[in-house]
């Protein structure tokens, strides 16, 4: 398996794609073709546990890794790190809806599925292609990526990790998780701006030649733990394949029978992984892209016009408060059949004018695979309330967006296909927003009292990593202007 870039012809192996994060001309790495999952392999995977499923899928992409290396990485990532024996359990909750719970990892959001594995993939890759350099991981986060990357990379040899988050754009629990992070190699900095500012700042630093030289001097090299890194994408493909096997095993579908997938979407990484699974032969029907009030993707799927020139909203589902969905670039590359010139042009237009329009042919392809919908703040809260009172299932705000858009989709189409809904965070991570959906009483002001009240009212357990935060000291207090991100990095690396 070889990799190329969305904006220029390249021919590299997975280790280079993973170490570089972003291709040097600014494109994202993509596989040159999609490996197919044979019927035989599916049969084998149906009999396998999660780690074995992950091993088999990773092997199809990481052909420059040995079997032992992949096994070592998978074992390190998933053994004893998740509070459920299966890191991605599939739960039948109502009608044809099965919730794929992706938040049983150490930071209680789906980012753990990839970010527990990425440090292993990255250090193995660096050993192959970056001769002993220290990898400096730069992260822009809307909340969940930051903590998941910090947890994955803390005290990993030959790495340093620097996380930027929007000062007012994350939940109290998310902020607490990041600012209390321990580790010799970690730095965390709030910025005065929103997530797109943080992401744009990080991308600019990646492309900054002075900064590159500064690092090279110290025998260091930048890499990324954001979902622009291909190493984030493959681990996410695994759980869609795994969900397919679980649907077969539970008798809900037969082998080869179609199922739909719903994903609460921000940067388009998670839903893109489902699209990859489909290209590999998994019988996924509709990919339902659920957005919150920042509904730039809903409009795009409807009209073929991507337009980020619109008001930015801070919502109760902050991990989806995004106007520039980076991974959409990969989808465009595949739908334009690898036409790097056109994709580069569209991305140039996005940068210069904040908008672009895809061809009618590509729009037809998008509509064939995707359905887009969105859910506002009130509906998000109503959905949490209903799911809990009707089915005694407590979900977080992001998952609620997905459930609401799924219900809208079924109401509109009457589609009765079995459906996998990605449940992307523990409700306890967003307790301040979830709690008022299950009680009308006055809420305590303290974040941890909220968490305890939520547990008492719903009879569900507080995830241990969140309970443990209460007594941890705040270690990271810096807040900088967005123009000062480079200076912060330099002072940390000194």
Ligand X SMILES: *Cc1c(COP(=O)(O)O)cnc(C)c1O
Interaction site with ligand X (CB under 6 A): 109-111, 144, 227, 264-270, 319-320, 398, 424-425
- Minimum distance, C-beta of residue 202 to ligand X, in the bound complex (Å): 15
Nearer to ligand X, 65 or 268 (CB): 268
Nearer to ligand X, 106 or 269 (CB): 269
- Minimum distance, C-beta of residue 215 to ligand X, in the bound complex (Å): 27
Nearer to ligand X, 229 or 270 (CB): 270
Nearer to ligand X, 142 or 340 (CB): 142
The answer to whether 341 is a known catalytic residue is no
Active-site annotation holder among 111, 175, 203, 278 = 111
Nearer to ligand X, 267 or 340 (CB): 267
- Minimum distance, C-beta of residue 403 to ligand X, in the bound complex (Å): 13
- Minimum distance, C-beta of residue 129 to ligand X, in the bound complex (Å): 26
- Minimum distance, C-beta of residue 111 to ligand X, in the bound complex (Å): 5
Three-class DSSP labels, the chain: CCEEECCCCCCECHHHHHHHCECCCCCEEEECCCCCCCHHHHHHHHCCCHHHHHHHHHHHHCCCCCHHHHHHHHHHHHCCCCCCCCCCCEEEEECCEEEEECCCCCCCECHHHHHCCHHHHHHHHHHHHCCCCEEEEEEECCCHHHHHHHHHHCCCCCEEEEEEEECCCCCHHHHHHHHCCCCCCEEEEEEECCHHHHHHHHHHHHHCHHHHHHHHHCCEEEEECCCCCHHHHHHHHHHHHHHHHHHHHCCCCCCCCCEEEEEECCCCHHHHHHHHHHHCCCCEEEEEEEECCCCHHHHHHHHCEEECCCCCCCCCCHHHCCCCCCCHHHHHHHHCCCCHHHHHHHHHHHHHHCEEECCHHHHHHHHHHEEEEECCHHHHHHHHHHHHHHHCCCCCHHHHHHHHHHHHHHHHHCCCCCEEEEECECHHHHHHHHHHHHCCCCCCCCHHHHHHHHHHHHCCCCCHHHHHHHHCCCCCCCEEEHHHHHHHHHHHHC
- Minimum distance, C-beta of residue 378 to ligand X, in the bound complex (Å): 19
Nearer to ligand X, 270 or 340 (CB): 270
Residues known to be catalytic: 111
């Amino acid at each position: 398996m070889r990799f190329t870039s969305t904006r220029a012809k390249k021919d590299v192996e997975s280790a280079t794609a993973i170490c570089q994060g972003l291709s040097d001309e600014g494109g994202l790495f993509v596989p040159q073709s999609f490996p197919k999952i044979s019927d035989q392999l599916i049969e084998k995977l149906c009999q396998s546990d999660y780690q074995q499923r992950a091993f088999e899928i990773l092997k199809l992409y990481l052909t420059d890794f040995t079997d032992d290396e992949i096994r070592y990485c998978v074992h390190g990532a998933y053994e004893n790190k998740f509070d459920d024996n299966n890191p991605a359990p599939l739960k039948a909750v109502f009608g044809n809806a099965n919730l794929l719970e992706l938040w049983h990892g150490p930071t209680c959001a789906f980012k753990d599925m990839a970010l527990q594995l990425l440090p292993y993939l990255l250090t193995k890759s660096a050993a192959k292609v970056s001769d002993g350099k220290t990898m400096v991981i730069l992260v822009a986060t809307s909340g969940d990526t930051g903590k998941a990357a910090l947890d994955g990379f803390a005290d990993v040899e030959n790495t340093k990790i620097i996380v930027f988050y929007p000062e007012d754009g994350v939940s109290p629990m998310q902020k607490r998780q990041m600012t209390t992070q321990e580790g010799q190699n970690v730095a965390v900095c709030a910025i005065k701006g929103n997530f797109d500012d943080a992401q744009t700042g990080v991308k600019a630093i990646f492309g900054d030649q002075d900064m590159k030289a500064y690092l090279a001097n110290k025998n260091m090299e930048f890499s990324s733990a954001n979902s622009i890194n291909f190493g984030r994408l493959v681990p996410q493909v695994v759980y869609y394949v795994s969900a397919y096997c679980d649907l077969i095993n539970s008798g809900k579908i037969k082998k080869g029978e179609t199922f739909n997938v719903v994903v609460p979407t921000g940067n388009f990484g998670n839903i893109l992984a489902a699209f990859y699974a489909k290209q590999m032969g998994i019988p996924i029907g509709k990919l339902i892209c659920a957005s919150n009030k920042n509904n730039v993707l809903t409009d795009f799927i409807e009209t073929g016009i991507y337009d980020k020139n619109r008001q930015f909203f801070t919502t109760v589902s902050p991990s989806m408060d995004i106007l520039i969905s980076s991974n959409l670039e990969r989808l465009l590359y595949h739908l334009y059949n690898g036409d790097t010139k056109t994709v580069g042009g569209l991305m140039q237009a996005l940068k210069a004018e904040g908008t672009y329009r895809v061809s009618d042919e590509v729009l037809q392809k998008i509509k064939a695979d995707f359905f887009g919908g969105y859910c506002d703040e009130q509906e998000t809260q109503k959905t949490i309330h209903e799911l809990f009172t009707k089915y005694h299932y407590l979900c977080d705000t992001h998952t609620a967006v997905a459930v609401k858009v799924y219900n809208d989709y079924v109401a509109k189409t009457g589609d009765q296909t079995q459906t996998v809904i990605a449940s992307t965070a523990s409700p306890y991570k967003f307790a301040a927003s979830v709690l008022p959906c299950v009680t009308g009483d006055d809420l305590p002001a303290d974040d941890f009292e909220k968490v305890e009240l939520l547990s008492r009212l719903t009879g569900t357990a507080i995830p241990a990593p969140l309970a443990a935060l209460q007594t941890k000291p705040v270690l990271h207090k810096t807040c900088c202007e967005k123009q000062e991100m480079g200076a912060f990095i330099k002072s940390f690396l000194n």
